[in-house]
Structure 1
Amino acid sequence: MDVLADILAATRFGGVLLAQLRSGRPDWGCGIDPAPTAGFHLVAEGVCWLRTADRPPLRLLPGDVVLLPRGARHELVGAPESAAVRYADLEAAHPPGRGGVVDLGGGGPVVRIVCGKFTHEGTAGRHPVLAALPEVIHVPGLSADAELQATVRLIAAETTNRRPGAQALATRLTDVLFVQVVRAWLERLDEAADAADAGRALDGAGPSWLTALRDPRIGTALSLLHDEPQRPWTVEGLARAVAMSRPAFAQRFKDLVGNSPLAYLAGLRIDRAAHLLRNTDDLVGDIARTVGYTSEFAFSRAFSRRHGIAPGRYRRSTPAPAPAPTSTPAPAAV
């Protein structure tokens, strides 16, 4: 079981292109308000700077990608000291043209930035992938792997041409881009671990199931849990499956993932159940058995502890799932 793919599919995770910023002025600046989910920027042309709280300005070059997993407030500016105007005000002053381009004008060197976000099911701010990532991930264009750069170049190209299907193709590629950025971050952790500098590479993200995927045995244990969450797993059984002693496995799992194997399994079962409640008409009791509970009462108690609401009320209060995005919507906000 590919754990990352499983979670992205179960939460209907997908990218949406929102707008493009274009400027030929040296003093431009765009302020982006906090958002409930991840946003990203891809520098298609030119040079600009990213400003975030508690960090020095970061210079962005052509091909660079910035992911903000928890939608932190940030600014894109033409120079480190440039003033930033809220995106909504920029959009009002420069209505988006064809392709969602917000053109700020100017006759100098052109900067073009492709902006988008990622949507998902479930509670805002609790997505298991986004919660495992740091506040900002920067993938430099010059040092990224060839596959990621091919995706970046294709998105940059498709957002400039008017060929049939360009918007749909570019939007689909944002899903590929997300996985490649996460891979690049994990590879940077591996390199930092070799240099005894993993703490800086984590940048406040901390241990999680995502970083634990780098460990062959714990990664295998996570795959087993995702493949059969309904199975009556025990710590002993998981330890045997990955050829470790029970104490060594339990300690390593907790050190790398951040909680115990059975606590992780409990959360996985409830997340699966929440997905089924949102997307099926199955009875609550049937869902409980599907995810591994022998008692509907025990399932309801566990579900309420995690979500603060009973399964039935959760289903009634959850909007029907929106179809997966297939094209670029009218740009409303970055």
Structure 2
Amino acid sequence: MDVLGDVLATTGFKGVLLAQLSARGANWGCGLERLGTAGFHLIAEGTCWLRVAGQPPQQLVPGDVVLLPHGEPHHLAGGPEQAAVPYAELEAAHPADRDGIVDLGGDGPVVRVVCGKFEYDGDASQHPVLSALPPVIHVPGMSADPELQGIVRLLAAETTRKRPGARAVAARLTDVLFVQVIRAWLDTAASDPQSAPQSWLMALRDPRIGAALSLIHEAPQQPWTVEGLARDVAMSRPAFARQFKQLVGVSPLAYLSRVRIALAARLLRDTDQLVSDIGEAVGYTSEFAFSRAFARERGLPPGRYRRTCLTPAGL
């Protein structure tokens, strides 16, 4: 079982292209407010600077990718101390063209930044992947693996071509880009475990705990016990429970509950199955037990959660 892929699919995770910033020289700055979701920037051409509160300015060069998993407010600018204008004001003064390019003008070398975000179901602060990541992930273009750089080059090219389906291709590539960035971050974090937050993402690298995570995701409806999971990965119960909690951050049964509820939430959103049938499908022996577990995880009972998902925004 591909645990990362399963989590992304369960939460309806998908990339969305927002715009391209184009500028010349260093006399420009763009301020972006906090997003309600994760955002990313890909430096397609030229150099610029990223500023995030509490961190030193960081120069970005062609091929670099920056992921902001928590949607932190930040500035992109032509220089490390260049003043930034809110994006809404820049877009009003320089409306995006039909290709989504916001051209800020200026004189000097061209800078082009591809900007996007990731949409998903549920609370941004509780997304199982994004909540496990640091506020900023910077993958340098020169040091990234060839597969990631291939995606970066193709995405940068598709955003400039006027070929049929270019935007559709670019949108699909953002999903691949996200996974490649996570892989690059995991490789870096593995060499310095103290720099990485405790999470199931890091636990995927452990042969036995990673295997237990795969078992849970492959069949969350099974009546798993700590003893059974420990036995299946050839560990004693105490050692398994201790190592799972140490690496993942929660107990095995608490993690199982999260996986079940995430799957149930998708079924509530995307199907018209009865609540009782969904509860049984994800491993609960009674509708009462399912409703109690769902409300504990999501703050709402299943029926009310479904009605909330079906209510158009603003009503």
The answer, yes or no, to whether TM exceeds 0.5 is yes
The CA deviation at 1:107 is: 2.5
1:330 counterpart residue number: none
For residue 245 of structure 2, what is the aligned residue in structure 1?
254
Higher relative contact order (CA 8 A, sep 6+): 1
Counterpart amino acid of 2:270? Answer: N
Unaligned runs of 5+ in 1: 193-197, 323-334
Cα distance between partner residues in 2 of 1:235 and 1:301: 21
Q: Deviations over 1:78-125 (max 9, x none)?
A: 000100000000000111113111111123011100000000112233
> Aligned residue for 1:108?
108
**SS of alignment partner, residue 134 of structure 2:** coil
Measure how far apart 1:25 and its partner are. 2.9
1:69 aligns with 2:69: yes
**2:130 paired residue number:** 130
Given that 2:46 and 2:112 are in contact with CA atoms closer than 8 Å, whether structure 1 keeps it comes out as yes
Question: How far apart are the structure 1 equivalents of 2:188 and 2:311?
Answer: 38
| In structure 2, distance between residues paired with 1:107 and 1:299 | 62
1:29/1:83 contact within 8 Å kept: yes
Residue in 2 aligned with 1:332? none
Distance in 1 separating the partners of 2:104 and 2:36 = 27
Is 1:277–2:272 an aligned residue pair? no
Q: CA deviation at 1:134?
A: 0.6
Identical columns (%): 67
- 1:237-277 per-residue CA deviation (whole Å, 9 max, x = no partner) reads 10111111111111000000001001110111111111111
SS at match of 2:125: coil
The match for 1:291 is 282
Q: What amino acid is the match of 1:61? A: V
Partner of 1:161: 161
Aligned residue type for 1:158: E
User: What is the alpha-carbon distance in structure 2 between the residues aligned to residue 104 and residue 61 of structure 1?
Assistant: 19
Match of 2:211 among 205, 220, 231: 220
Equivalent-residue separation in structure 2 for 1:14 and 1:320 (angstroms) = 21
Aligned residue for 1:318, secondary structure, equals helix
Letter in 2 for 1:284: V
1:13-33 alpha-carbon deviations (Å, 9 max, x no partner): 100101000101312000000
After superposition, residues 138-157 of structure 1 pair within 5 angstroms as 138-157=138-157
Tell whether 2:233 aligns with 1:242: yes
**Shift in Å at residue 321 of structure 1?**
10
1:320: how far off?
7.2
3-state SS of 1:62 partner: coil
Q: Deviations over 1:30-65 (max 9, x none)?
A: 000001110000000011000001000011010000
Counterpart check, 1:39 vs 2:39: yes
Alpha-carbon separation, structure 1, partners of 2:114 and 2:24: 15
SS in 2 for 1:199: helix
| Paired residues of 1:23 and 1:103 also in contact (CA < 8 A) | yes
Following TM superposition, by how much is the alpha carbon of 1:190 offset from its aligned partner in structure 2, in angstroms? 1.6
Matched letter for residue 255 of structure 1? Q
Are the equivalent residues in 1 in contact too, given 2:27–2:106 (CA < 8 A)?
no
State the distance in 2 between where 1:33 and 1:283 align.
40
Between Structure 1 and Structure 2, how many residues are aligned? 313
Mean Cα displacement is larger for which, 15-24 or 305-314? 305-314
Equivalence map 1:164-183=2 (5 Å): 164-183=164-183
Evaluate the alpha carbon distance shift between residue 74 and residue 177 of structure 1 in structure 2; reply closer, same or farther with a 3 A threshold.
same
Amino acid at match of 2:218: D
Runs (4+) of structure 1 moved beyond 3 Å? 319-322
Are 1:36 and 1:125, in contact at CA under 8 Å, matched by a contact in 2? no
